[in-house]
Amino acid sequence: MIRSSVYHRLGTQLSLQRSVANAPRCSQFTQQICLSTEASPAQIAIRDDETDDTITKSQSIREARPKFVSFFDRVDKTMKRDSPAQYQRFLESKAASESWRKMQEQNERSRSSRRLDREYKEAAVEAAEASAMSNISHTASPPPPRTATPIRPTAFASHGAGRGKENDTDPITAGQEVPWYKRRPDISDFASEMAEKNRNVDRDTPSTETALPNKYKHLMNKNLDDSSKIHKLDDDVGTVSSKKKSGVFASISKSALNMRDANGVTSTSIPFSELFPTLYANDSQKKEEKDRKPVNPAMMYEENQFEAYHEAMEAVFADHGANKAISKFEAKGGEEKRVVQIVKQWLLNDHRIIDQNSVKERWNNVEQVWKGEKWMTGIVGERGEESTEPRFICELKAQQEIFLSKLLEEDESFLASGESASSSDEGSSKRSGDLASEDIESPICPILFHEITQHIMGTLGRYCARRARSSPMVVAWWKVKESGLLLSKSTISTYLYVVSLMGMADSLGFSSGIGISSYPISDNEKGRVVDSRDAIPEEVATYHDLASKPTESSISLRVKAMACKGDANKAEELLVAFQNSIEADQSSDELMRLRTYLPILKHYCETGEIGSALSLFKRMQYTPGVILEPETYVLLIASIAENKYFCEKSSPIEGAQHLGYSCSNGPGLFDDLVAEMSCDVLEISSASARRLYNSLAVGFQNESNSDNEDIVVSTLKEVHPLMSMPVARQSAEHNEVVASRVSLDRSTGICPVTDAQQRLIILEPDQRIQLHDDLLNLSTEQFAKYAGKKSDDSPNRAREQLQKFSDWLNQRQGEPFTAIVDGANIGYYMQSFDKGRFNYHQVKFMVDTLEERGENPLVIVPHKYGYSQFYSTKREHQRLDQAEIEIMNDLTKSGKLYRVPPRCLDDFYWMLASVSDQTASRNARDLSVSNNDPDHRFPGTRPMLISNDQMRDHRLELLEPRLFRRWYGCHIVNYNFTAFVLGESVAGNEVGFSPADFFSREIQGNQCPDNGCWNSQAWHFPVSDWELDERFVIRIPSNAVE
């Protein structure tokens, strides 16, 4: 039944093909329809001309239809019309996203292609080996003839154990041709296909495992069939011969395949290890391990360290730039190629060439050279006894000679074993990649060797620096030391950066820190030596200082190593010597940084040497380039607290008063330190707050908690460093140590625990001048960046215009301005509705309100709002009505409206106006208003700035944070009212004013209410990750009677 249906369908297809072929005027399109629908041409009744007419009509109909515009197209069109700048950013973001997506797709296709190619090659090699072994074991009877078919990738996956045998029991396939996926692959087809594939593959990455060697490809030019295969076994000779002497395969020995070219003239022997590498891989590896010279386990690198180094080195060798440079060396000739092979073999060795004691002795000599030059030497240091070269270079050259001789010995033994192994194969020949026997014994050129090695080791350093990986440096640095390699300045600087990462946390994938030993530590279990990481940064710093000259980076590494060893005094002497060398060298641009001093300060604090820590901290404050961070102050204050020096009855810190502190211990010392901190720090983190809390809990843990009001009491208890601090709301006793998280009253600034009131700190006169000058400098930078460059505009145009405005404020006569109005902010206030626009009625409403409250306002607007028509911030064309034009003209005539020059930022103008002295009009008068003003004016500093701008513009980030925060707190006044719709507003509309800050958001100390015998000051610290009105408060009570 099944067979009949198959034959019927096949007959229908054959008859249909004949009718289609004989049909007149039948187009190719008609033939395809007939074959797909199994209908005759007469039934289809389609002619070429009818088809053309139908297609033309369809195209006309499609063109006549209105084009469908999607929602996204409409959004794009609207955005492009209304907001070109935003649309341009959208296009850039879209292009970047599309580029990233295409790159991901390309990477995925590349990975899939490599995976399929690898599977295809493995399957091809497996099929070829199976077929070859089958031919070798065949009897004299030739196999039945079959049609040669090309091998497909899926054929090898389906090859299996069936080996292409037919299944005669299948009623459908019995007697038919064997399908291609069940046939046994032909070795000649495989060879031809692989030869073609090798011609198309990338020359730089040849497939050495599956591709036929290049020198044997010319033997496969003639395509073979099964009649030319070898099928007669000659047991006496041990070969398999062919009846047909004109074939390519002549004979097969036990270890090689003997072949002739297409003409039968030249004979070549191919070892089985090259033809079938997977079959002979284990045997060759065992033979190589057997012939290899045994290595002392003590000379082996630690396994994890070498694995990290080997992975990085493999990536370096796969780098395009490194491959290109190495190829240039290899292209020069035999000597360069030989040295490149030796360098690669040495760099990938998992063991040392020179023993540790020899390298240690050599490095001790280098260390003595550095110490003999009093730490400040460069490559112009002490000379050798019989040489004019620096002592450091002499030591490196001596190490180079020893290393190259040892390397040559190991290279000879390795290559000799390889030569003896290769010569045992019958008919084997010298390969192109092997070294000549006379080259093995020839010495290695030191210059060439180190030139190649320097390039590779430099690439390795850049690879580790880009990925912030320091683990490969353990093995890499040992190879630098044992080879006596002289690295370039750029490479050793890169190594300095990489080894500086060795002290970072394990969570980031780096080392856990610096250990104890300076040289390799013995590992008894494995019988090998494990490199300690702690010596490497110090050794790299010594190498750097001797090869070039000391820098802040190298000194920082050495200071860190000395401090970790507990030798803080010597580290401090090194800093003094380096500082003196900087001051002596007028051309030096080196600066000491916080990281240079911090390891010594931490060591002093951890060991309880508070006097030394305080002295070093004082020197850090006066060192140029050292910017003290909040954590630095917290480290010192917490260490002093833990050592109980803030208790009144504690022993004084030696030398504290000589450093300028009013007290040597007790609450007075705490007040002095926090007062210094408030000058450099604005706020702390919650982690720093918990650190201070725990330190005070430890320092005052012995203070009794009793009802006696004459002694200091403490209820503080240590908390977990990660625990969140609760908000305290209960008032503390006057003799109680306070360290709490509090929420201040926003309207009064009173602390609920200490009853101390916070102040609004205003700008000092010198700070006002500094802010004025900073705005002038900032305007120049921002004009060049945001306003664009015009041929007729000078780079200082914005500064000149802003200076003119400042001069006008200082020279004008009349009443001084007491209120500066941000005109754009007022005009657009609450105008985000559909008919919203820049509204001059709101500006007039604000001006009238300020005048009623006794203020003299000045409105500052961008240049375009001084015209009767302009484009608003919504990119809509706006035309002022007659009433608004009259308002604008009246404000201009009365001198209360100032238009900012074109392409200048109005922010700088109203900020500068708020800090201007207004010399002529002010006449040195104090314009500020007190809280109990008889005219009920709004209290605060004058002039005040009326704006709801949150000042989050990135243009203002360049201002000094303390100046900006104080200016914002004491000058900005926020407002609110009901928005206008054109010129109309609700009845009874009023303006409400409120200060931006009721108290300054910075560290400040305020006196607690007087309570007789107790005199204490409460310090409130803003915390960056708490609420705006929350503070961390510390109060250490002081007995005024004592």
Residue 285: predicted pLDDT:
53
Q: Is residue 415 within a helix (H) or strand (E), and if so which, with residue range?
A: helix 391-423
Question: For 326-330, 488-492, 568-572, 880-884, which range has the lowest pLDDT when averaged over its residues?
Answer: 326-330
pLDDT of residue 1: 44
Per-residue pLDDT at 760? 87
Q: Indicate the pLDDT class of residue 703, thresholds 50, 70 and 90.
A: low
CA distance 911 to 971: 9
Task: Judge whether 753 and 943 are in contact, CB under 8 Å.
Answer: no
DSSP 388: S
Residue-wise pLDDT tens digits, 161-208: 443 444 444 444 444 454 444 444 444 454 555 555 555 544 444 443
* 3 state DSSP class of 241: strand
For 114-153, b where at least 16 C-beta lie within 10 A, e where not — what string? Answer: eeeeeebbebbbbbbbbbbeebeebeeeeeeeeeeeebee
More confident position, 432 or 402: 402
Q: What was the pLDDT predicted at 450?
A: 86
pLDDT bin (cut points 50, 70, 90) of residue 594 is: very high
pLDDT bracket for residue 550 (50, 70, 90): confident
Residue 340 has pLDDT above 70, yes or no: yes
* Coil, helix or strand at residue 821: strand
Give residue-wise pLDDT tens across range 660-675: 999 999 999 999 999 9
Mean pLDDT of 252-274: 61
Calculate mean pLDDT across residues 977-994. Answer: 87
pLDDT above 90 for 601: yes
Q: Does residue 807 or residue 969 have the better pLDDT?
A: 807
Query: Quick one: pLDDT at residue 236?
Result: 38
CB 188 within 8 A of CB 150: no
Is the predicted pLDDT of residue 916 greater than 80, yes or no?
A: yes
- Looking at residue 726, what is its pLDDT? 92
Q: Ranked by mean pLDDT, which of 8-17, 22-31, 35-44, 739-748 comes out on top?
A: 739-748
**Which of 887, 897, 807 minimizes the C-alpha distance to 845?**
887
pLDDT tens-digit map of 50-59: 445 554 555 5
857-861 and 819-822 beta bridge pairing: parallel
pLDDT digits (tens, 9 = 90+) for 196-245: 555 554 444 444 344 444 444 444 444 344 434 433 333 333 444 444 44
Q: How far apart are CA 970 and CA 963, in angstroms?
A: 11
Residue 388 has pLDDT above 60, yes or no: no
Rounded CA separation 626/628 (Å): 6
Q: If you average pLDDT over residues 142-157, what whole number do you get?
A: 43
- Greater model confidence, 412 or 1034: 1034
> For residue range 93-128, what is the model confidence (pLDDT) as tens digits?
788 788 778 888 887 887 787 778 777 777 777 776
Say which range, 198-207, 248-257, 456-465, 692-701, has the weakest mean pLDDT. Answer: 198-207
Lowest-confidence range among 122-126, 636-640, 715-719? 122-126
Over range 504-522, report the average pLDDT: 35
Torsion of CA 336, 340, 341, 346, to 10 degrees: 140
In the chain, what percentage of residues exceed pLDDT 70? Answer: 65
pLDDT for the residue 189: 52
Would you state the pLDDT for residue 67?
52
Kindly state the greatest CA–CA separation across the chain.
Answer: 130
**pTM of the entire predicted model:** 0.64
For residues 541-552, give the mean pLDDT.
86
- In terms of phi and psi (left: phi > 0; alpha: psi -120 to 50; beta: otherwise), the region of 720 is beta
Which residue in 241, 258, 280 sits closest to 129, CA to CA?
Answer: 280
| DSSP secondary structure letters along 264-295 | S--EEEEEHHHH-HHHHHHHHHHHHHHHSPP-
Q: Which residue has the higher pLDDT, 834 or 775?
A: 775
Residue 857 reports pLDDT greater than 60: yes
CA-based end-to-end distance of the chain: 119
What pLDDT was estimated at residue 223?
Answer: 39
Using an 8 Å Cβ cutoff, are 233 and 255 in contact? no
Given the DSSP bridges, would you call strands 944-946 and 819-822 parallel, antiparallel or unpaired?
A: parallel
φ/ψ of residue 141, rounded to 5: -70, 130
Task: Tell me the two tokens of residue 283.
Answer: 């045997």
pLDDT at 813 over 70: yes
pLDDT score of 353 more than 50:
yes
Q: What is the mean pLDDT of the chain?
A: 75
The predicted model gives 785-809 an average pLDDT of 80
Distance CA 737, CA 727 (A): 16
pLDDT of residue 156: 36
Pairing, β 232-234 against β 877-879 = unpaired
